[in-house]
Amino acid sequence: AAEEGFDLEDVEGAIEAAGHGPLPVLAVVGRPNVGKSTLVNRIIGRREAVVEDKPGVTRDRVTYEAEWAGRRFKVVDTGGWEQDVLGIDASVAAQAEYAIEAADAVVFVVDAKVGATDTDEAVVRLLRKAGKPVVLCANKVDGPSAEADAAYLWSLGLGEPHPVSALHGRGTGDMLDKVLEALPEAPAQTFGTAVGGPRRVALIGRPNVGKSSLLNKVAGEERVVVNELAGTTRDPVDELIELGGKTWKFVDTAGIRKRVHLQQGADYYASLRTAAAVEKAEVAVVLIDAADSISVQDQRIVTMAVEAGRALVLAYNKWDTLDEERRYYLEREIETELGQVAWAPRVNVSAQTGRHMEKLVPAIETALAGWETRVPTGRLNAFLGELVAAHPHPVRGGKQPRILFGTQAGTKPPRFVLFASGFIEAGYRRFIERRLREEFGFEGTPIHISVRVRE
Ligand code: GDP
Ligand code: GDP
């Protein structure tokens, strides 16, 4: 490394930063208007999680990446929901439950100016039951005179209330220090795989694509309910299902089976549920209704899985209903609308007739294998050397940036760091990704490539 002009420490730092693997998840929960979205904005240091005053606005972005004191994690914002027909307690409980299920730690936000309400107490009960680490945020403590309000929140029995002003940033640093103490280094779920537990599958897709039909078809009567959190409007449930001679854990299947009919905020619930399922899973099977046009919603769901860094399988359902013409147009749509995930294994199934059900498991296994692939550094560099010699980066400003060497920093999904002598253009990065896929497979997995440029 040194002879190429990189400091060894730089190289090691870059590899460590790129190789983090799945990030732990922090959920921010609480009643409406306590300041959750404002706090999420603080945490992610952006103005992105919009603080919305308009009701009924569709929010499909619910998870964000954040970093504090050099540690990275994901934040799930539950601020985008509406009170609905279920009434306020049930609505708060439902949204909190999704988020808590997917989280490794929780920030529970209470409005210190208002104090603890019955709804807050209801969330506390959920938090107790879930048993996840909780940091209690006493928000809207805008100045020292309001600190006394925060102290009342000891009564919630969740330990020390941390006085914060999400709006002005007061106290958020101290609170985030506590959050880091509560958050594990890696999501708890990844340890499950290390000891050979069942692989975790999220079956996702927009309403009516056939998720519950497919689940019933593959599970038959043998479904086993693994864990049931009873008592609220819906229960996140993981089910163990025997498929292809193996046991798989289908996560968050209650959201599939029991349809929660919501008049408002239904899209938001659906997004939150999908995000939660994806976070808990290793591989996402995105079900698409082949009889219907591929929609923006289908693309969003695929993007969620890809951005979360999960292995991906695309299952085109309702194949039994397709005629010649629809099949023709479907292929065109797949090319234009889902061309960016052409690397995902594809199965054409019918949940109704059972067509090609036996192909689902091999597709899932292929995607997981791609997700876990590790390319030895020697092989990678032999490949990079040949590639760069045969297809050099275009000359820019009289200089030719070169990839000097690279390494795979992590798996699940594969993450690469390339070290270069100058700025590498996006087009060339995509070219390298394409060639990496041709050479090493990576079927069914997103891959991350970061480039370090020599100073
Ligand atoms: P959410 O519904 O829990 O996501 O709450 P929002 O983040 O949308 O905030 C609700 C309202 O409380 C907004 O008008 C915010 O500006 C306000 N707010 C949030 N945090 C604070 C704070 O720390 N101090 C004060 N005074 N107001 C705040
Ligand atoms: P979900 O909302 O994604 O869980 O979708 P459902 O499983 O409730 O299915 C929605 C509708 O599509 C139902 O009327 C199903 O009977 C129908 N459906 C599901 N899969 C198939 C299929 O493979 N072929 C046909 N023809 N209909 C299907």
Given this model, what pLDDT does residue 231 score?
A: 37
Structure confidence at residue 61 as a pLDDT band (50, 70, 90): low
Given this model, what pLDDT does residue 186 score?
A: 72
Is the predicted pLDDT of residue 191 greater than 50, yes or no? no
Given this model, what pLDDT does residue 184 score?
A: 86
Is the predicted pLDDT of residue 430 greater than 80, yes or no? yes
- Cα 386 to middle of ligand 1, angstroms: 56
Is the predicted pLDDT of residue 364 greater than 90, yes or no? yes
Question: Distance (Å, rounded) from C-alpha 446 to C-alpha 455?
Answer: 29
More confident residue, 264 or 17: 17
Is the predicted pLDDT of residue 36 greater than 60, yes or no? yes
252 is in an annotated binding site: yes
Structure confidence at residue 116 as a pLDDT band (50, 70, 90): very high
To the question of pTM greater than 0.80 for the whole model, the response is no
Our mutation pick for probing the ligand 2 site, out of 206, 208, 261, counting the most ligand atoms within 8 A of Cβ, is 208
Q: Which residues line ligand 1 (CB under 6 A)?
A: 30, 32-38, 51, 79, 139-140, 142, 165-167
Structure confidence at residue 58 as a pLDDT band (50, 70, 90): very low
Strands 346-348, 403-410: pairing kind: unpaired
Instruction: Determine whether the shortest distance from the Cβ of 213 to ligand 2 is under 6 A.
Output: yes
Structure confidence at residue 270 as a pLDDT band (50, 70, 90): confident
Mean pLDDT of 176-188: 86
Given this model, what pLDDT does residue 59 score?
A: 46
Is the predicted pLDDT of residue 87 greater than 70, yes or no? no
Structure confidence at residue 49 as a pLDDT band (50, 70, 90): very low
pLDDT tens per residue across span 401-411: 999 999 999 99
Is the predicted pLDDT of residue 193 greater than 60, yes or no? no
Given this model, what pLDDT does residue 196 score?
A: 63
Given this model, what pLDDT does residue 259 score?
A: 46
Instruction: Determine whether the shortest distance from the Cβ of 207 to ligand 2 is under 6 A.
Output: yes
- % residues pLDDT > 70 (the chain): 83
Q: Which of 41-55, 237-251, 263-277, 336-350 has the lowest mean pLDDT?
A: 41-55
Mean pLDDT of 436-443: 95
- Nearby residues of 61 by Cβ (< 8 Å), 6 or more positions away: 48, 49, 271
- Cα 166 to middle of ligand 1, angstroms: 7
- Cα 210 to middle of ligand 2, angstroms: 4
Is the predicted pLDDT of residue 75 greater than 70, yes or no? yes
Given this model, what pLDDT does residue 260 score?
A: 47
Given this model, what pLDDT does residue 267 score?
A: 66
- Cα 230 to middle of ligand 2, angstroms: 27
Is the predicted pLDDT of residue 201 greater than 80, yes or no? yes
Phi, psi angles (nearest 5°) of residue 27: -105, 140
Instruction: Determine whether the shortest distance from the Cβ of 258 to ligand 2 is under 6 A.
Output: no
211 is in an annotated binding site: yes
Given this model, what pLDDT does residue 90 score?
A: 67
Question: Distance (Å, rounded) from C-alpha 362 to C-alpha 43?
Answer: 40
Please give the structure tokens belonging to residue 177: 């220090």
Mean pLDDT of 117-142: 91
Is the predicted pLDDT of residue 57 greater than 80, yes or no? no
Mean pLDDT of the chain: 84
pLDDT tens per residue across span 302-318: 999 999 999 999 999 99
Given this model, what pLDDT does residue 180 score?
A: 94
179 is in an annotated binding site: no
Burial class (CB in 10 A: 0-12, 13-18, 19+), 168: middle
Is the predicted pLDDT of residue 82 greater than 60, yes or no? no
Whose tokens are 């506590």? That residue is: 178
Mean pLDDT of 62-79: 84
pLDDT tens per residue across span 140-179: 999 998 999 999 999 999 999 999 999 999 999 999 999 9
Q: Within 13 Å and on the Cβ side, how many CA atoms surround 135?
A: 25
Question: Distance (Å, rounded) from C-alpha 145 to C-alpha 75?
Answer: 30
Structure confidence at residue 91 as a pLDDT band (50, 70, 90): low
Structure confidence at residue 54 as a pLDDT band (50, 70, 90): very low
Supply the angle between the helices 266-280 and 88-102 in degrees, to the nearest 10. 20
User: What are the b/e assignments for 102-132, b being 16+ CB within 10 Å?
Assistant: bbbbbbbbbbbeeebeebbebbbebbeebeb
Comparing C-alpha atoms, which of 128, 147, 127 is closest to residue 139?
147
Is the predicted pLDDT of residue 78 greater than 90, yes or no? no
Mean pLDDT of 412-426: 92
What 3 state SS string does the chain have?
Answer: CHHHCCCHHHHHHHHHHHCCCCCCEEEEECCCCCCHHHHHHHHHCCCCCCCCCCCCCCCCCCEEEEEECCEEEEEEECCCCCCCCCCHHHHHHHHHHHHHHHCCEEEEEEECCCCCCHHHHHHHHHHHHHCCCEEEEEECCCCHHHHHHHHHHHHHCCCCEEECECCCCECHHHHHHHHHHHCCCCCHHHHHHHCCCCEEEEEECCCCCCHHHHHHHHHCCCCEEEEECCCCCCCCEEEEEEECCEEEEECCCHHHHCCCCCCCCHHHHHHHHHHHHHHHCCEEEEEEECCCCCCHHHHHHHHHHHHCCCEEEEEEECHHHCCHHHHHHHHHHHHHHCHHHCCCCEEECCCCCCCCHHHHHHHHHHHHHHHCCCCCHHHHHHHHHHHHHHCCCCCECCECCCEEEEEEEECCCCEEEEEECCCCCHHHHHHHHHHHHHHHCCCCCCCEEEEEECC
Is the predicted pLDDT of residue 271 greater than 90, yes or no? no
